[in-house]
Amino acid sequence: MTKVNIEIGQEIPVLSKTAFTPIEQDARNPIHTDEYAQKHGMRGALVPGSTLLSYMLEMLYSTFGEKWLNEGRIHVSFIGGGALNDDQITAHGRVKSIESGEGGDRIRLELWMENQKGVKIMVGEASCLG
């Protein structure tokens, strides 16, 4: 198992990606089509939240390894208008606290994801046994 050496206030390694999902004109949720999204004041078809969340989870798995799969917890909110295909997104995490407990030290993180303009598009918290 991966042992995480981490301190309060420390940022974990970021994950940067180009947001992408295939655009299907007959998508179940029309917010993921250009026509509908633009008609409702958005820049274009939104990348699904599940795709953005998968990027955040990849960052957490890279930090905590296999422990993340069994001991990880996450809660996020999508804000700031989301992401479109080809947006450059970066996932961040910063240690808020480390709490000793029965199963070991639980590391609590503040999470956020930004687009290429520095606009936050996801915020939340996560924790994992370290």
In this structure, is residue 2 part of a structural domain?
Answer: no
Q: Which domain holds residue 74?
A: 15-129
In this structure, is residue 31 part of a structural domain?
Answer: yes
User: Which phi and psi (to 5°) does residue 101 adopt?
Assistant: -150, -175
In this structure, is residue 89 part of a structural domain?
Answer: yes
Which residue, 16, 17, 13, is CA-closest to 95?
13
Beta strand pairing status for 15-18 and 104-114? unpaired
Number of domains in the chain: 1
CA R_g for the chain: 16
Residue 55, domain CATH? 3.10.129.10
At 4 the pLDDT is 59
In this structure, is residue 10 part of a structural domain?
Answer: no
Q: What is the pLDDT along the chain (130 residues), one digit of tens a residue?
A: 345 578 999 999 999 999 988 776 666 777 777 777 778 877 788 899 999 999 999 999 999 999 999 999 999 999 988 999 999 999 999 999 999 988 889 999 999 999 999 999 999 999 999 8
Name the burial class of residue 29, with classes exposed (0-12), middle (13-18) and buried (19+) by CB atoms within 10 angstroms of its CB: exposed
In this structure, is residue 5 part of a structural domain?
Answer: no
| Spatial contact of 69 and 60, defined as CB atoms under 8 Å apart | no
Q: Look at residue 70 and give its three-state secondary structure.
A: helix
